[in-house]
């Protein structure tokens, strides 16, 4: 386990849900208005990481994947956490028609799962790749940028 958050190119191994959520909580220190991209297979821990981040910002209710809703807004004492799941989005224009830019600007932090097609629009945003390891409890996270 290295220092969190990771620098570009660094990898960390997370053992169990508490570590996944603690890792997510570390990203709550990103500056207001930041975007954080999460990528990885279904069940890789993207929503678990977001749960920890939301808790660190003071959100106390359950955090769920917005796969079917596309977006969830979580009001926190630190400001709104925007959680986007672009898995079902065929064209990024769909998100922009939902006023994604304004939602990001008005949020304390934005987490975007499956947002590969949006990377170019947010070149400074960190990209974390999560993957399952041999044990179902272990995840490896690599910061791509």
Q: Which domains does the chain have, with CATH numbers?
A: 11-143 (3.40.50.300)
| Three-class secondary structure assignment of the chain | CCCCCCCCCCEEEEECHHHHHHHHHHHHHCCCCEEEEEEECCCCCHHHHHHHHHHHCCCCCCCCCCCCCCEEEEEECCEEEEEEECCCCCCHHHHHHCCHHHHHHCCCEEEEECCHHHHHHCCCCCEEEEEECCCCCEEEEEECC
Output the tens digit of pLDDT for each of the chain's 145 residues: 446 789 999 999 999 999 999 999 999 999 999 999 999 998 899 999 999 999 999 999 999 988 888 899 999 999 999 999 998 888 888 888 889 999 999 999 999 999 998 999 999 999 999 999 878 889 999 999 9
pTM of the model: 0.93
């Amino acid at each position: 386990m290295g220092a969190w958050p990771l620098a570009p190119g660094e990898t960390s191994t997370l053992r169990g849900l508490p570590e996944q959520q603690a890792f997510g909580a570390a990203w709550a220190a990103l500056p207001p208005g930041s975007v954080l991209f999460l990528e990885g297979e279904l069940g890789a821990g993207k929503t678990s990481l977001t749960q920890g981040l939301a808790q660190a910002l003071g959100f106390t209710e359950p955090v769920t994947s917005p796969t079917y809703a596309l977006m969830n807004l979580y009001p926190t004492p630190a400001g709104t956490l925007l959680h986007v799941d672009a898995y079902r989005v065929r064209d990024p224009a769909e998100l922009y028609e939902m006023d994604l830019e304004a939602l990001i600007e008005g949020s304390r932090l934005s987490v975007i799962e499956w947002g590969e097609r949006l990377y170019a629009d947010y070149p400074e945003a960190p990209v974390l790749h999560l993957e399952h390891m041999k044990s179902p409890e272990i995840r490896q996270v690599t910061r791509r940028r």
